[in-house]
Amino acid sequence: MTVTVPGPTLGVVGGGQLGRMLAEAAAPLGVDVVVLDPTPDCPAAPVAREQVVGGFDDPEAFRELASRVDALTFEIELADSDLLEEVAEEFGLTVHPSPETLRTIEDKLVQKRALEDAGVPVPPFRAVDDEADLRDAVSEFGSVMLKARTGGYDGRGNVPVRDESEAADALDELDGPAMAEAFVDFERELSVIAVQGDGEVRTLPPGENVHEAEILRETVVPARTTAEVRERANEVANDVLSMLSGRGVFGIELFETRDGEILVNEIAPRPHNSGHWSIEGARTSQFEQHVRAVLGWPLGSTALRSPTVSANVLGTVEETRAARLGNVESVLSAEEASLHWYGKDDVRPLRKMGHLTLTGANDADVTDLLSRARDLRDGLTFE
């Protein structure tokens, strides 16, 4: 295709930090972004051209967004897939990734069944409709992770169940459709940021993810595993993309088992927290790749610039209050560090407020980088 700039205007359903970073990446390409989000002056608003204030299932808001843009995408799975399909057809727009893909991914049970049917390796799982189903899952698999089928993120919607006696309380905590997945005895958690363009697929180097209390804390790139495991992770990521329709970036979370097997944990049909390192660490960030892909433009290089660690800045307060980050000069004074603030007005316990990245020389020890990134991150305070 022929590309000229200024380019088209891209509509994004969702105006959180992902929408903010998408708009930041789109601007140098000559692409304006309009976001739709229910929160007035959402994090993406200061860097997007415009914001449409409305819910993720608001037909009039979707139509208002569609009337102002040339193409549609989304940065949150709460986007109504049927509405996306409807307004795209009504206004003659493309929407990527496809609403069909969103429908597959937004329900974790549907997602897992689709992966299994495609021959992609996944942990054992089963649907849970009632307490008897959950007790049967624990009896069959041993300890399980009970997952809300829709809406869960950042540890929400996940409840570990180690004994049949915990079944009733676990189901009460989720209060909705669920699935049970066998606990995986994993060596480490990995992720691959994969991008599907117009007839081409590329993957960024696999990252190693460090979680605590089900919340991503740090990502280390390259992942501290063997070249064979990293190659296998990329192969599985390519298999995942072959079963999904539409262009865009996909965050694919993986388990590396003790014997080096790769299993798919979950898929996000959008840029992903575990790919934030790519802004400084890759030739083309996941956000620029997503803009290029959904517009049908040529994809960028996925080569690693340098070993990189990203560390999330989470709310350390005990209760919600106005957000003000202190000791920022410690990060700014570190020559290989970069700070990203998400522009959220309020901080609350464990809320993702920003992230920092630390890059090193090509021969840098990523474990040392991780330690330094943690020190810098932990030195930040909320005043």
The annotation places the binding site for ATP at 108, 147, 181-184, 189, 211, 265-266
Structure tokens at 309: 């660690």
SS (H, E, C) 232-268: HHHHHHHHHHHCCCCCEEEEEEEEEECCCCEEEEEEE
Structure tokens at 145: 């992770």
Which residue ranges are tagged as binding site?
A: 108, 147, 181-184, 189, 211, 265-266
Question: Dmax of the chain from CA atoms?
Answer: 62
Structure tokens at 273: 């927290």
| Strand segments (E) across 4-157 | 9-13, 32-37, 50-53, 71-74, 94-95, 125-128, 144-148
Structure tokens at 154: 């950042």
- Whole-angstrom Cα distance, residue 95 to residue 22? 16
Identify whether the C-beta of residue 358 lies closer than 8 Å to the C-beta of residue 336: yes
Mapping DSSP to helix (H, G, I), strand (E, B) and coil, where does residue 222 land? Answer: coil
- Whole-angstrom Cα distance, residue 320 to residue 315? 9
- Whole-angstrom Cα distance, residue 382 to residue 139? 45
* Non-local CB neighbours of 335 within 8 Å, separated by 6+ positions: none
- Whole-angstrom Cα distance, residue 176 to residue 206? 33
- Whole-angstrom Cα distance, residue 307 to residue 193? 16
What is the amino acid identity at position 201? V
DSSP 152-173: --TTTTEEEE-SGGGHHHHHHH
CA dihedral (197, 202, 207, 213) in degrees, to 10, reads 30
Q: CB 247: neighbour CB atoms within 10 A?
A: 23
